[in-house]
Structure 1
Amino acid sequence: MTSTRPLRADAARNRRLLLAAATDEFAERGLDASVADIARRAGVGKGTVFRHFATKDDLIAAIVLDRIEALNTVGERLLETADPGAALLEFLTVAAQQRQQRDLSFLHEAGELSADVTRVRAEMFHTVHRLVDRAREHGAVRADVTGADIILLMCAPNYVISYVQDASPDLWRRYLAIIFDGLRPEGAHPLPHPPPAAP
């Protein structure tokens, strides 16, 4: 894995370029994207890639890590807002937007072997549980909804529209609204099955 020491300005710039280029290449070509193509797209040599990321798996893990950290940062900020229900809805909206902009879900399995990804994902899941606990305590969501439920629902809006040919870019918002209305306590019926274990 890469060093945690602060990077020089030029090295930090190259790292940002590489992550952006790799994100585009993987989005277009899947896991078959080559290091040579990523380097070419970033405007650097292959040696620069390997100075930052010892292996292609390390590069994949860095992309996954950046995405999870960005989402967790949003969640932690929303924990400080006054309206817990609105905070949870905004978090789910940001999660869906991130996936809509670049659906790189196929990379997450490839990044599973990274200890850093495992750690940051656990931190993000903890943030989700806290957001749900706040919303539930304030009566913004039904009492039988758990953080594990929300973690499983985070990908649902984009997963649903993946089955629609030529879907509008904003179609996911329709399904997020349906999901969130189902989380509200008003008119809720008891759920027919207990929640899964917390991730």
Structure 2
Amino acid sequence: MGTATATASRPMRADAQRNYDRIVQVASDAFAERGVLTSLDDIACRAGVGPGTLYRHFPTRDGLIAAALGGSLDKLAGLSESLTASDDPGAALDDWMLALAEHLRTYDNLPESIAEAFRVDDSPLRNSCRPLTNTTSVLVDRAKKAGVIRHDVDYRDLFALVSSVAWASQRRGDSDADLKRMLALATGGIR
């Protein structure tokens, strides 16, 4: 996702960049331990900064979640490139749905947070996840053209279905194999 900057033309001061990086790392660890609804004040304390510093960098929880997901989103962007160029649209869509479900299980309550973010036009989390829905749309269209999924499948419905499976899998504490099996069961109707 890259390094944050204060403005498009002027980089952050070194101490501000260190604070930013520390907050993101601590938030990532805290979200992994307790989910995305963990206290932001606790994250600030653990990062060794005041709440004001955290909120200056991240005025909303969505912004902090988006920053914490940066590495995972970068990996999905790389996968997106290879899958959209794949010669097998059906397998590419299957691989994408599994990768997307695994991503959505990164943090407890992440599927709900993303669903909420898509209801807010200027949400940083929505904006950072937009490439996920774009890739889903492209892969659904390719699979439709290849005749491997039904023509009435809408990418938004599929994204919601994968999110729901990820949420349920997270709640049950499923293994990766269980997630894959559950996803196959849930998406069988799109064929």
TM over 0.5: yes
Give the Å deviation of 1:132: 0.3
Alignment match, 1:174: 181
Contact 1:157 1:173 in 2 (8 A): no
After superposition, the C-alpha distances for 1:156-180 in whole angstroms (9 at most, x for unaligned) are: 322333564x644542221112134
Amino acid at match of 2:179: W
Q: Identify the residue that residue 37 of structure 2 maps to in structure 1.
A: 31
Please list, as runs of the form range in 1=range in 2, the aligned pairs for 1:98-137 lying within 5 A after superposition: 98-103=103-108, 104-108=110-114, 109=116, 113=120, 115=122, 116-137=124-145
> For structure 1, which segment, 13-22 or 66-75, has the greater mean C-alpha deviation from structure 2 after superposition?
66-75
**Larger-Rg structure:** 1
Preserved contact between residue 125 and residue 151 of structure 1 (Cα < 8 Å): yes
Counterpart in 2 of 1:189? none
Contact 2:105-2:111 at 8 Å conserved across structures: no
RMSD: 3.5
2:6 is the counterpart of 1:3 = yes
Percent identity (aligned): 31
Greater percentage in helix: 2
Gaps of 5+ in 1: 185-199
Task: Tell me how far 1:139 sits from its aligned partner.
Answer: 2.0
Q: Partners of 2:146 and 2:169 in 1: how far apart? A: 31
Residues 3 and 169 (structure 1), Cα distance of their counterparts in 2 relative to 1, 3 Å cut: same
Counterpart residue identity of residue 3, structure 1: A
Structure 2 segments unaligned to the other structure (5+ residues)? none
Counterpart residue number, 2:65: 63
- Equivalent-residue separation in structure 2 for 1:144 and 1:110 (angstroms): 26
Deviation by residue 1:119-145 (Cα, 9 ceiling, x = unmatched): 444443232111100011112222332
Task: For residues 22-54 of structure 1, give each alpha carbon's deviation from its aligned partner in whole angstroms, at most 9, with x where no partner exists.
Answer: 23334516535032x213433x3226534533x
Count residues with an aligned counterpart.
178
Among 28, 45, 51, the alignment partner of 2:49 is 45
1:86 maps to 91
The one-letter amino acid paired with 1:61 is G
In structure 2, do the counterparts of structure 1 residues 161 and 107 end up closer, same or farther at CA, with 3 Å as the change threshold? closer
